Structure 1
Amino acid sequence: MSSTTVSDTDPFRLLTDWLAEAKRTEIADANAMTLATCGADGQPDARIVLLKSHDEQGLVFYTNYESRKGQELAENPRACLNFHWKTLQRQVRVLGRVEKVDPVEADGYFASRPRISKLGAWASDQSRPLAERSVLEARLAEAEARFPDNNVSRPPHWSGFRVVPLRFEFWREMPYRLHDRLILSRASETGAWETSRLFP
């Protein structure tokens, strides 16, 4: 990478490099990313989720499929991700199609979670109205009684999504707002990556 511009032809390699740098400099959750979706009603929505894995197949996060984002992605399986690392003065935007991860892959990740997080996946009707906190606490207690040890199975409604990218934008802050913007895009999911730049 030069001193003035971002340079690479492999977006996954560049993302891996930037994530590694972010993990050394960010206070917490260097893998946090904004997930933007748009359901059938045409109303856009955004929230922060955590990147749990990535490779040349795409970027993976996990959630309740019955949540608002899960329903929106079922209606319109396309999304935009945005990483922002303030200390590095960098951003990465990713646009692409979204697909569900394989159940075996989801089981493997779920097994790695802390026990309380596993139980929470059973206790929470994510995105639905909650009358008061005690209701959630009672449901968590029910889940604890149902699974007395760490052998907590993955709920059928809880799994992962993979964003299969068609476009990356790697943005780096530069003096006087003359920022560097590298675009890596492809016409199809099996196509070659093409490089271009944007004015800041």
Structure 2
Amino acid sequence: MTKWSEGIAARVAGEVKRLREEQQPRLSVAKLADRTTELGHPMSRAVISDLELGRKRTLDVAELLVLARALNVSPAALLYPELPDRPVEVWPDVSVRSILAVQWLSGESPPARLLEEGEQPVPTAEYEASQAGRERITIARQYEKNRGMAEQLAAESLDGFDEDQKRIARDAALRFRRETRKSLHRMRELGMWVDDE
């Protein structure tokens, strides 16, 4: 256990406590523990209290995920709560603005982007891996957006629409379905796992 890893646990603990206490009505430690149990990864009241009080100085990924879900926030919001500019130690002895840490965590920027500009060039392999990761995220987002819009338009009742409005709605649905198919094809080319049923 390092000072850095303890800092992560302390930062998450502080945000868990803040979010818990800001809920209306206030969410007790017991209720939060109950939520983690309902989600399938029980964290006892004692464990959550110890985390908030600093006696529990480590946090595993499963605990981070279940606490985020129980509090209805993203794991990134617990890890890096003071967006966008609060400095955060993203790796041992490397502090960056919180927004840069979130961008790295989500695959939107390469690790070297977090270092001070000019301190170190981004290695080609790292840059290419980051670009590939970013493409996967972007294409998955496009797929979900287009699929959702196509489904929404297909479910819409066109009763009460005039012929021009119906044509526009049908054209839009076709366009979203076509874009969904293109995204699906690209995801398969990239070897991504897609359930398109």
TM-score normalised by the chain length of structure 2: 0.27
More helix by share: 2
Q: Which one has the largest radius of gyration? A: 2
Structure with the bigger RCO (C-alpha within 8 Å, sep 6+) is: 1
TM-score normalised by the chain length of structure 1: 0.27
More strand by share: 1
